Structure 1
């Protein structure tokens, strides 16, 4: 009878807040580029709220993943492996950031009806991204402490 030894995973330990902040800033950069671009396109074209939000979310994922792909392929990782790293590193962070960001935007009275030349449009977008940053940072800290999220990127840098 074959005997298998179990190798317990190392105990999760809290990640440094500075690492979590850097990971969240990385996520925020991609999300903000995509989010702003999506909101600007949807608003400029006079789209309804739902297609505008869906475009903003899609572009946030595209730009978020693109920033990671750029970094890890520059570090020498092949494209296939880089895609896997980007998906593992960024999916949860971007999803949380987008859920919070768009949830806040939908709660700010008049934000989704505001035009590009109105301060409410830009103030609401900046406020929503700031709230998303605050909420996503502890999520990234938790992920990194368990060897997930941006910890995956650091194995390849």
Structure 2
């Protein structure tokens, strides 16, 4: 018995409807006993798309035909490595505390010194008080765009 090829296909769906569409696809697989589909992945941080693991694009097209909120298939395949990058937890940049001195490493404030006002770890953002401006300036930027200067 030969091993079947498993490919990953991106399905475009209406934003916010990823879970509902995934459940409808699951129900269709169960009722029609479709064996060519291996998994359905609906990631919370991937809006407007569902990933389907299947043997062929024709199996996916049959699966999604007539399903509400499905906008079609995206061109090409998704590599397994790309999916693992999306699924795996991203390591948030340096651990910052309120009052730390940082240097902005990219964006319009690159190279400027700033002081940390607050850190929102859930969003991966940090609020900074830019020290090199003529007037008080607070900005919110991603935590991976700052480098710790001194505590």
Q: Same fold (TM over 0.5)?
A: no
Give the structure-2-normalised TM-score.
0.23
Structure with greater helix percent = 1
Structure number with larger C-alpha Rg: 2
Greater strand content = 2
